[in-house]
Structure 1
Amino acid sequence: MNAFQYDAHQIKEQARLIRRHVIRLNADSPAGGHTGADLSETDILATLYFRILNTGPERTDDPERDIYIQSKGHGVGGLYCCLAQAGYIPTEWLATYQHFNSHLPGHPVRQKTPGIELNTGALGHGLPVAVGLALAAKMSGSKKRIYVLTGDGELAEGSNWEAAMAAAKYGLDNLFVIVDKNKLQLAGLTADIMPLDPLDVKWAAFGFSVSECDGNDVGQLIQALESMQTKSGTPQVLIAHTIKGKGVSFIEARPEWHHRVPKGDEINAALEELNHGE
């Protein structure tokens, strides 16, 4: 059972607060950050941690907890902010993001940060490990579920598709892949760099049950993720259509914000936009 079990309205408020943390965290970083990626995934993370995942801040060592893997490791800033908001780590740590000897390095390191399940950074590694974890859980009779978040640009890595084939072969219906399809990556539009569409057809051809939703709509995320839990026999993938930089107008859908942080007046402008909930 999830430690919070929040409804859609409560999750939306948590997402707003997480986004405010994201702005401050990236602004305070001495080594840059990935503001756009952090903001696009926020609603997904908030829905997982405040409703979907069978885990909680007091259960990080529970062998039957659900496992969440941040395969798009460059978006770890958003995950740190979610973990802080959910009580896994102290909020004060956010001001130390990417500082020397910080608990919050620029990519996930499980030895450094409570709540981090896997070291990631080089893209295309999270899903293969998730497949191994899901298979091990099946073999041991565990009821835990394995969730993994990938970027859409990340899916150009062939290791993802090798892992997908294995997941289907072993019938890993305890594996849930979420694609943060924000349509942008470091060098520009994913459609220009390495086209993925029709992405739903590709996943289906690899043996996955495919769902799609607006990845910045908490209500749709809840419906999709809870529906996926009722299916059996095949691994699941949710293609979550998001906007990179969601929540801050001058960051949304702007390629330059892949590896840019707010500075000067941009900080207060962003926080002002995130000052009030619905």
Structure 2
Amino acid sequence: MPDINYLNDLVTQVRRDILRQVHKVNSGHPGGSLGCTEFFVALFQELMDRKDGFDMDGKNEDIFFLSNGHISPVFYSVLARSGYFPLEELNTFRLINSRLQGHPATHEGLPGIRIASGSLGQGISVSIGAASTKKLNNDLHIVYTLCGDGELQEGQNWEAIMYAAGNKVDNLIVTVDYNGQQIDGAVNTILPMGNLRAKFEAFGWDVVDIKE
């Protein structure tokens, strides 16, 4: 189990990776990536029960789906530093013919990537499908997903949230990056969503607030 000093050092290194990736091509989304660095490091280095190597079926291990795929720089960095692919490949971020595009995609077979995320708002639905499959297979492992607060303005999320509670999909943990911003401005300016905690609880979810 990594100690706290190792994790803190890794957080710093991942942030360096993020800035280098985005600066090299003058393209990308550094803000969301930097804000979620601790989450990714803790998830992949401390929380998830992962097998050696990578296969798409994800049987008998915890699995993760990224819904807000524009924060790919942090995802790529943590995957590389968790042994999924060589660190040198981070230098190819957003280049032509690279496996590391702006939004993660599956067609190039990059280890660690389970869904393409160019269209936001689908991660919770996909995660519910994976979690339900694990329950059918008597696989006791957990499915994790991360989504942005802005993409929760899409109705598909709330159908999924209602479905998960109604069908007792209790092997799923959804984390919302509640930063109050989306591509066009502040979430409360574009489409206010009120009290997200109260909304999730109204649909029958257990909610934990994590604040820095």
Fold similarity call, TM over 0.5: yes
Distance 1:121 1:8 in 2: 34
TM-score when normalising by structure 1? 0.72
1:151-201: CA deviation from partner (whole Å, max 9, x where unpaired): 011110111110001100111110000001111111111111111231110
Q: Is 1:8–2:4 an aligned residue pair? A: yes
Aligned equivalent of 1:59: 53
- Work out which of the residue numbers 75, 78, 91 in structure 2 matches 1:82: 78
Describe the SS at the equivalent of 1:212. Answer: coil
2:208 to 208, 211, 216: 211
Residue 211 of structure 1 aligns to a residue whose secondary structure is coil
The equivalent residue for 2:190 is 193
**SS of equivalent residue, structure 2 residue 95:** coil
Q: Aligned pair 1:182/2:179, yes or no?
A: yes
Q: Distance in 2 between matches of 1:89 and 1:197?
A: 40
- SS of residue in 2 equivalent to 1:208: coil
Paired residues of 1:7 and 1:51 also in contact (CA < 8 A): no
Q: Aligned match of 1:103 in 81, 99, 102?
A: 99
Q: How does 1:117-132 map to 2 (within 5 A)?
A: 117-132=114-129
TM-score, length-normalised on structure 2? 0.94
The aligned runs of 1:1-278 (5 Å cut-off) are: 5-29=1-25, 32-56=27-51, 58-61=52-55, 63-112=59-108, 113-214=110-211, 217=212
Distance of 2:188 and 2:137 partners within structure 1: 41
- Post-superposition Cα deviations, 1:201-249, rounded to whole Å, max 9, x if no partner, equal 00001111000112xx5xxxxxxxxxxxxxxxxxxxxxxxxxxxxxxxx
C-alpha separation in 2, matches of 1:13 and 1:24 = 17
Letter in 1 for 2:183: L
Q: Please say if residues 29 and 96 of structure 1, whose CA atoms lie closer than 8 Å, have aligned partners that are also in contact.
A: no
Aligned to 1:261: none
Q: Which amino acid aligns with 2:43?
A: L
Q: Secondary structure at the match of 2:70?
A: helix
CA distance in 2, matches of 1:169, 1:135: 12
> Structure 1 CA distance, aligned partners of 2:97 and 2:186?
35
Structure 1 CA distance for aligned equivalents of residues 210 and 75 of structure 2: 21
Deviation of 1:121 after TM superposition, in Å, equals: 1.8
Q: Which blocks of at least 5 consecutive residues in structure 2 are unaligned? A: none
> Which shifted more, 16-25 or 87-96?
87-96
- The whole-number CA distance in structure 2 between the counterparts of 1:136 and 1:122 is 23
Q: Give identity over the alignment, percent.
A: 36
CA distance in structure 1 between the partners assigned to 2:155 and 2:7 by the alignment = 34
Matched residue SS, 1:147: strand
Structure 2 residue identity aligned to 1:38: S
Residues 145 and 175 in structure 2, CA contact (< 8 A), matched pair in contact too = yes
* C-alpha displacement of 1:8: 3.0
Equivalent position of 1:234 in the other structure: none
- Give the unaligned 5+ runs of structure 1: 218-278
Mapped to 2, the partners of 1:84 and 1:103 lie a distance apart of 12
Runs of 4+ in 1 over 3 A off after TM superposition: none
User: Which gives a bigger RCO, structure 1 or 2 (Cα 8 Å, sep 6+)?
Assistant: 1
Could you tell me whether the CA contact under 8 Å between 2:66 and 2:146 is conserved in 1?
Answer: yes
Partners of 2:59 and 2:119 in 1: CA distance: 27
Query: Aligned letter for 1:143?
Result: L
The alpha-carbon deviation at position 120 of structure 1 amounts to: 1.1
